[in-house]
Amino acid sequence: MSLTQPMTFECPYCMAPNDVEIDEMNDVGQQQVLDCQICCQPIELHVSRDGDTLSLQANREND
């Protein structure tokens, strides 16, 4: 059984899809800074849970 869940989000700079592995136990409620896999710009990624559903919010860093 995997402890991570693959998810996809859209880069707020270049709109390219990006893949990320979310750890359901440790990443929910946390903020991470990742670089876009295409344009390399820094992205603030917020992970939240609503019931059984995980969601990601991707924002430009320093916005």
* pLDDT score recorded for residue 32: 93
Residue type at 60 in one-letter notation? R
Output the tens digit of pLDDT for each of the chain's 63 residues. Answer: 568 899 999 999 999 999 999 998 899 999 999 999 999 999 999 999 998 889 999 999 887
Residue 53, phi then psi, degrees to nearest 5: -100, 125
* Residue 19 vs residues 43, 44, 51: alpha-carbon distances, Å: 13, 14, 22
pTM of the complete model beyond 0.75: yes
